[in-house]
């Protein structure tokens, strides 16, 4: 997602007095006020951790990163394991668990699935607010007995995804996974809550061609791009093939075979 958020009025607030020190910590880190008139978003600190709440009468509920309960837990337990399409797309197979960089990590849902299957994951989320939610979710996941071994395989990096990839330090990832936010207009009214929240806040990934180019230059084995099923490919080299589901597809750009 873009690291240049739209002009939104955002403040940090504690949901109870006990969380005021944490609210002040996040406000200082993110250079956000603790109070603002006519705010559009609130980054809230409470018993369930850090959450982002859009304000206003028709706003959806808060968004937080939760790897312990809810959808992440259900998918971890009943999601289909290595038979999931995302697993096949990145090359998970018998004896093969590639090192993966998720360069558009968002709320970390796809990275968590791959980490739960045994992949060593690096994550970049270049939008600071979303990165804060992800950092908080990883910290809370590390305190859970069942989830801690999974989040231990998830390393969160800071910075602009393109710049981090261009200036990569150390052993490069075998696979780079991209799920960029595009100026794609959903026809259905049932757009996910996260997307309704993020689009006005962070905008679209208008530099997706440069994102793909940087990924292709860094990955040693393949690049995988998640797209809405009927959306066009990213401008640039064409994928060699793809995997298609009901609502999305994975465009695959191979460089060399993954082997056990």
The rounded distance, in Å, linking the Cα atoms of 161 and 127 is 10
Q: Are 178 and 223 in contact (CB under 8 A)?
A: yes
In 52-182, alpha helices (H): 70-78, 85-90, 109-116, 128-141, 148-151, 161-166
72: alpha, beta or left? (left if phi > 0; alpha if psi -120 to 50): alpha
Establish whether 66 is an annotated binding residue: no
Instruction: Consult the annotation and say whether 194 binds a ligand.
Output: no
Q: How far is CA 185 from the centre of its chain?
A: 20
What gap in Å lies between CA 246 and CA 9, rounded to an integer? Answer: 37
Q: Which of 75, 101, 109 is nearest to 194 (CA)?
A: 109
The C-alpha atoms of residue 168 and residue 172 are separated, in whole angstroms, by 7
Q: 126 a known binding residue? A: yes
In degrees, rounded to 5, the angle at the alpha carbon of residue 160 between the alpha carbons of residues 157 and 161 is 70
Question: Which amino acids are annotated as binding site for S-adenosyl-L-methionine, given as ranges?
Answer: 125-126, 179
Question: Which amino acids are annotated as binding site, given as ranges?
Answer: 125-126, 179
């Amino acid at each position: 997602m873009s690291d240049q958020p739209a002009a939104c009025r955002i403040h940090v607030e504690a949901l109870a007095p006990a969380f005021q020190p944490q609210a002040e910590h996040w406000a200082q880190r993110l250079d956000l006020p603790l109070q603002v008139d006519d705010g559009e978003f609130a980054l809230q600190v409470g018993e369930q951790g850090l959450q982002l709440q859009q304000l206003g009468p028709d706003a959806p509920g808060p968004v937080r990163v939760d790897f312990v309960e809810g959808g992440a837990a259900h998918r971890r337990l009943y999601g289909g394991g290595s038979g999931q399409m995302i697993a096949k797309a990145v090359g998970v197979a018998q004896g093969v668990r590639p090192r993966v960089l998720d360069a558009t990590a968002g709320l970390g849902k796809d990275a968590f699935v791959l980490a739960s299957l045994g992949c060593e994951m690096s994550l970049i989320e270049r939008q600071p607010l979303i990165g804060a939610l992800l950092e908080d979710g990883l910290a809370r996941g590390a305190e859970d007995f069942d989830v801690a071994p999974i989040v231990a395989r998830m390393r969160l990096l800071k910075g602009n995804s393109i710049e981090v990839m261009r200036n990569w330090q150390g052993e490069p990832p075998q696979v780079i996974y991209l799920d960029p936010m595009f100026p794609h207009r959903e026809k259905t009214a049932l757009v996910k809550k996260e997307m309704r929240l993020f689009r006005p806040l962070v905008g679209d990934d208008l530099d997706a061609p440069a994102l793909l180019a940087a990924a292709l230059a860094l990955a040693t084995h393949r690049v995988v791009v998640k797209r809405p099923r009927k959306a066009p490919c990213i401008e640039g080299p064409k994928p060699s093939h793809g995997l298609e589901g009901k609502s999305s597809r994975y465009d695959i750009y191979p460089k060399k075979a993954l082997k056990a």
